Amino acid sequence: GAVVSQHPSRVICKSGTSVKIECRSLDFQATTMFWYRQFPKKSLMLMATSNEGSKATYEQGVEKDKFLINHASLTLSTLTVTSAHPEDSSFYICSARPLKGTEGDTQYFGPGTRLTVL
């Protein structure tokens, strides 16, 4: 149980285009999903917290107009990188926190999406 999927697993795009990444909890419901960014050999950096049905909460220094987050249902959150630039190239990982009392108080991570902006 507690499987989180991400799509796509890898994307290469041209500078200036927008890229959408989906995060789905496959076998549980998640009121809260998290989006992280990870640079090579570095730890996870929390970008934003996404709650179903409400606006995302962004960490300091993360541009909310550049990284659009939508949490449309209890099993789906999307991250859209708008007008992507080469410096946005990174490994983006989502996680989902199950509803309390189901899978426990922890986060389950997706496999990540590697974004390369040319």
Of 30, 108, 115, 117, the one binding other proteins by CB under 8 A: 108
Q: From the CB of 16, what's the least distance to other proteins, in Å?
A: 26
Q: What is the rounded distance in angstroms from the CA atom of residue 115 to the CA atom of residue 97?
A: 24
Residues 72-91 that bind other proteins (CB under 8 A): 91
Q: From the CB of 37, what's the least distance to other proteins, in Å?
A: 12
Which residues have a Cβ under 8 Å from the Cβ of 6 and sit 6 or more positions away? 21, 22, 23, 24, 93, 94, 110, 111, 112, 113
Of 41, 53, 65, 87, the one binding other proteins by CB under 8 A: 41
| Residues 65/78, Cβ–Cβ less than 8 Å | no
> Taking CB under 8 A as the rule, does residue 60 contact other proteins?
no
